[in-house]
Structure 1
Amino acid sequence: MKQKLIGEITTIIDVQTVKVKVETIKIHPLYKKRYKSHKNYLVDTNGKNVEKHAMVEIESTRPISKNKKWKIISKNKSISNPNLKIQISK
């Protein structure tokens, strides 16, 4: 099954490549404090028109290049991330 994530476009590198920042909320195992962490992914645009700071849904795919292993499925209009998941770190 392919993994799907929601993130914000931070950089438009090329016509076919953008950098997407995906944020998650984690909980410290001992102190139970919540904190945000993020990871950047290089994503293939499939020729779609994208804008900086737009929310997009990305899906894992076969390796397109050395670092690109994700593609854009759909663009979301809202800025907030409704699918921000809480992960408990061990």
Structure 2
Amino acid sequence: MPKRVLTGTVVSDKTDKTVVVKVERRVKHPMYGKIIRLSKKYHAHDEGNEFKEGETVRIEETRPMSKLKNWRVIERVNTHATPAKQDVA
């Protein structure tokens, strides 16, 4: 059976060897038809503590590592960051 792979944003990296990844998905509301965003947080294993808050990462389902950790971080997703705004005085 293939492992599930999800893409999300790291929202917390405070714990040792663990990051919390928020995965958002877009779903059509069954009654009103409006597209809404649903999100869920996953605890993922990060062996080297290399992923920081705000980064976009790809996570993969794995064996249970603790009570909450069933995922591990595969890689960082390269996103084009917008340049910082410059103050013009």
* Superposed pair shares fold, TM > 0.5: yes
TM norm structure 2 = 0.83
Please tell me the root mean square deviation across aligned C-alpha atoms, in Å: 1.6
The higher relative CO (CA closer than 8 Å, separation ≥ 6) is in 1
Change (3 A) 1:63 1:8: same
Structure 2 residue aligned with 1:30: 31
Gaps of 5+ in 2: 82-89
Aligned equivalents of 1:72, 1:39: Cα separation in 2: 16
Gaps of 5+ in 1: 81-90
User: What aligned pairs does 1:3-14 form with structure 2 within 5 A after superposition?
Assistant: 3-14=4-15
Q: Which has the larger radius of gyration?
A: 2
Deviates more, 1:13-22 or 1:59-68: 13-22
Are 2:3 and 1:2 aligned? yes
Q: How many matched pairs?
A: 80
TM norm structure 1 = 0.82
